[in-house]
Amino acid sequence: MSKTEKNLQEAFAGESQANRKYLAFADKADKDGYGRVAKLFRAAAAAETVHAHAHLRAMNGIGTTEDNLKEAVAGETHEFKEMYPEMIVDAEAEGATQALRSFTFANEVEKVHANLYQKALDNLDDQSDVDYYVCSICGYTCEGEAPDQCPVCKAGKKAFFMVD
C-alpha cells in the first residue's frame, strides 16, 4: 500500500469520526439551548462528510450497488463475529459497564444489519418501497414498521424513528 493510500484511509476515518462526533455535539448543544452552536456543529459535520466522501472516491472505495452490498455484509459480519466479541470480553474483564452495554447492543444490531444487507442483495432487482425504523437507544434496525418493543434493548415503540 502506498503512503498516499494509507493517508487516504486515515483521512477518511478521521473525517468520518469528526462527522459523527460533531452531530453528537450538535444534539447536546440543542439540548443545552445553544441553537446557533448546534447549527455550526451540523454545518461542520456536513463539511466533514463532503471530505470523507471525496477521500473514499479517491480510494476507489465506492463500487456498484451489488459490490457495495457485498462489502457491507462482509463488514457487518466481521464486526459481530470478530470485532465486538473481543471488545465485549475486554469490557467485562475491566468492569466497564457502559462500554459493555454499548458493545453488546452494537454486536446484536450488526447481525441484523448483515441480514438486511444480504436480503437487499438477494432481492436487488426488487424496487418496491420499504420503510426502515431505527431504535434511538441501541440502533436496532427493522423494515416495515417499528415493533412495540425493541428486541435488543427492550425500549418501547416511541424510541424508534423512521429513516428517509
pLDDT of 26? 98
Per CATH, is 64-128 categorized as 1.20.1260.10? yes
pLDDT of 144? 96
pLDDT band at 86 (very low <50, low <70, confident <90, very high): very high
Neighbours of 65 (CB within 10 A): 11
Extents of the domains making up the chain: 3-58, 64-128, 129-164
**Which CATH number fits the domain 3-58, given the four candidates 3.40.50.1950, 1.10.3720.10, 3.30.460.80, 1.20.1260.10?**
1.20.1260.10
Q: Name the percent of the chain in helix, strand, coil, to the closest 5.
A: 70, 10, 25
Residue-wise pLDDT tens digits, 96-150? 999 999 999 999 999 999 999 999 999 999 999 999 999 999 999 999 999 999 9
pLDDT of 93? 98
Neighbours of 130 (CB within 10 A): 9
| Average pLDDT of every residue of the chain | 98
Q: Rounded CA gap, 127 and 116, in Å?
A: 15
Range 86-99 average pLDDT: 98
Residue-wise pLDDT tens digits, 5-16? 999 999 999 999
Amino acid of residue 84: Y
Range 52-71 average pLDDT: 98
Range 26-54 average pLDDT: 98
